[in-house]
Structure 1
Amino acid sequence: MEFLTLQNFASCVGQAFDLSLGESTVPLTLAEATPGGPQIMPGMRRAPFSLLFRSQSAIVLPQQIYRMKNASLGALEIFLVPVARDKQGIVYQAVFN
């Protein structure tokens, strides 16, 4: 498995990601890709970073690993956590350490 980095996602901000729920999909948009804190341990293979995805659905999905597809990155499995709800929908976060 390739280690994903912030650079992999930076050019995908604003792009659609289709989250698979078995027979159906939920469209998400990558809203933000930001660097995390400093590398905590020497020799870490990547710098920490965070992703925020937006869903226009009012339904909150539980935190878990989801299979997602993006036109640029292809198929990925990402652990998402719902972190906010606003008038635009639900915000999910993925943190990579």
Structure 2
Amino acid sequence: MPEAAFTLARFAPLVGSRFTLRLDDAAELPAQLIDASAGRGGAQSFSLTFEAAAEPALPQRIYRLEHPQLDAMDLFLVPVARTAAGLHYEAVFG
């Protein structure tokens, strides 16, 4: 996905939908996009928050994400919270 395609407008309609997070060539983990919010760093700044199962707990690093309406993309995800529903991971842009 070209860098220009990483915009809040592109992801906001997908809040609530399921992404597939690739852990390696064979393993995958479903992740739901639970938030897409404008940031404070200027017009292009925004963040995405995904929720996935509590186990396995993933370290921060680049993961491949797939969604039926988008091209596959590599995002740097950081674990930011543990909830009753699972773990939250955040990607920040801009």
Q: Does the pair score TM above 0.5?
A: yes
Paired-residue identity, %: 42
In structure 1, distance between residues paired with 2:9 and 2:62: 21
1:17 offset after TM fit, Å? 0.7
Q: Secondary structure at the match of 1:85?
A: strand
Per residue, is there more helix in 1 or in 2? 2
In structure 2, the residue matched to 1:12 is 14
Q: Which amino acid in the other structure matches residue 36 of structure 2?
A: A
Q: Deviations over 1:21-73 (max 9, x none)?
A: 1211000000000000142xxxxxx6100111000233210101100100111
Tell me the TM-score normalised to structure 1 length.
0.87
Unaligned runs of 5+ in 2: none
Q: Which entry has the higher C-alpha Rg, 1 or 2?
A: 1
- Matched length: 91
Unaligned runs of 5+ in 1: 40-45
Q: CA RMSD in A?
A: 1.2
Tell me the TM-score normalised to structure 2 length.
0.90
